[in-house]
Amino acid sequence: MSDPKQTSRRISKPKAKPALPAKAVGKALRARTPKPVDRATMTEIFRRFHAANPEPKGELDYTNPYTLLVAVTLSAQATDVGVNKATKNLFPVADTPRKMLDLGEEGLRQHIKTLNFFNTKARNVIAMAKRLVEEFGGEVPNSVEILETLPGVGRKTASVVVNIAFGDPRVAVDTHIFRVTNRLPLAITKTPLDTQVALEAIIPDEYRLHAHHWLILHGRYVCKARKPECWRCPVNDLCRYPDKTIP
C-alpha cells in the first residue's frame, strides 16, 4: 500500500527558464547578423552574376511599355506563369490604353478571371487606361513618381516598368530581392523601400541596370526562402549568411 503522505505531496513542475530581456535578445540577433559586404566584394558578386547571365530578362510577356505596365500590375499576388496565360489572349486585342477602354472592365475581367483579386485588378487597369488616355496621350510616362499615381501602381511596379521599358537603372524590390539583399548581405534593411534606396546607392553603376533581374532570379531559383541551394550558388564563397548550407 502506498504511503498517504507521499501520495498527497504535490509534484513540483520544473521552473521555466526566465526569458531573456528584450535588449539581450536584440544584442544576440545583432551579433549574429554579419556586416554588409564591402564594395570590392559587392563588385565581384555582380561581376559573377553578369558573367553567368550577361543580358537577364524578366519572365513576364509583353509587347510594349503599356502591356508591360499592365502585366506587372496583374502580377501582384500572382505568378508570372499565371499572368502570361491570362495575357496571351488579352494583349492581341488590348495592347494600348484606348483598346483597353474599348474592351471594358467586364471584357477585361473575363480575360484575367484566373488571377487572384481579378475584380480589383480589372477595375484598376481600366482606371489606369482612362488616365493614360486623358492625361498622357495614351503613352506610358517615363517617371516613377508619375506612374505611382496611377491606380494599382506602386513603387515596385513603377520601378520595374521604367527599368525594362526605358532603361532607367531602378532596382525594384520584391520578396526575393529583399531576402537576397539581407542574406548576402548587400545591405541590412527592414522594408522593401529601404532596400531599394540602399541598393540604388551602393550597387556599382555598371551593374545597376540589370541588378533587379539578377537578384530576383537568384532569389527565385537559387537563394530560396526555405532551402537555399547554396551548392550551386555562384557567390557562396562571398556570402555571409549564417544559415547557408555549405561553408
Residues 158-172 pLDDT 10s: 999 999 999 999 999
Q: Which of 133, 166, 199 delimits the end of a domain?
A: 166
Q: What is the pLDDT of residue 25?
A: 38
Q: Which of 136, 166, 196 delimits the end of a domain?
A: 166
Q: Which of 142, 166, 190 delimits the end of a domain?
A: 166
Same domain, 210 and 136: no
Same domain, 119 and 208: no
Cβ proximity of 172 and 196 under 8 Å:
yes
Burial readout 6-19 (b: 16 or more C-beta within 10 A, e: otherwise): eeeeeeeeeeeeee
Q: What is the pLDDT of residue 15?
A: 54
Q: What is the pLDDT of residue 33?
A: 74
**Is 64 annotated as ligand-binding?**
no
Same domain, 121 and 176: no
Separation of alpha carbons 247 and 243, rounded Å: 10
Side chain identity, residue 91: F
**Is 100 annotated as ligand-binding?**
no
Structurally, how many domains does the chain consist of? 2
Q: What is the pLDDT of residues 97-156, one digit of tens each?
A: 999 999 999 999 999 999 999 999 999 999 999 999 999 999 999 999 999 999 999 999
Same domain, 128 and 73: yes
**Is 230 annotated as ligand-binding?**
yes
C-alpha cell at position 126: 481600366
Side chain identity, residue 186: L
* Mean pLDDT on 55-80: 96
**Is 233 annotated as ligand-binding?**
yes
Burial readout 100-131 (b: 16 or more C-beta within 10 A, e: otherwise): bbebeeeebbebbeebeebeebbbbbbebbbe
Same domain, 118 and 190: no
Q: What is the pLDDT of residue 4?
A: 47
pTM score: 0.83
Pseudo-torsion of CA 55, 57, 62, 66, nearest 10°?
Answer: -80
Side chain identity, residue 224: K
Q: What is the pLDDT of residue 34?
A: 85
Instruction: Please calculate the CA angle 243-191-119 and round it to the nearest 5 degrees.
Output: 110
Residue positions annotated with a catalytic role: 156, 174
CATH number of the domain where residue 153 is located = 1.10.340.30
Q: How many CA atoms lie within 13 A of 65 on its CB side?
A: 18
Cβ proximity of 49 and 239 under 8 Å:
no
Q: What is the pLDDT of residue 80?
A: 95
pLDDT at 210 over 60: yes
Confidence of residue 245 (pLDDT cuts 50, 70, 90): confident
Q: Does residue 239 form part of some domain?
A: no
Same domain, 159 and 223: no
Q: Does residue 245 form part of some domain?
A: no
Residue whose cell numbers read 549564417:
242
Same domain, 218 and 131: no
- The mean pLDDT of the chain is 90
Side chain identity, residue 184: L
Same domain, 175 and 162: no
Separation of alpha carbons 247 and 238, rounded Å: 10
pLDDT at 21 over 90: no
pLDDT at 3 over 60: no
Domain that residue 196 falls in = 36-57+170-232
Q: Does residue 47 form part of some domain?
A: yes
Separation of alpha carbons 188 and 176, rounded Å: 14
Same domain, 76 and 51: no
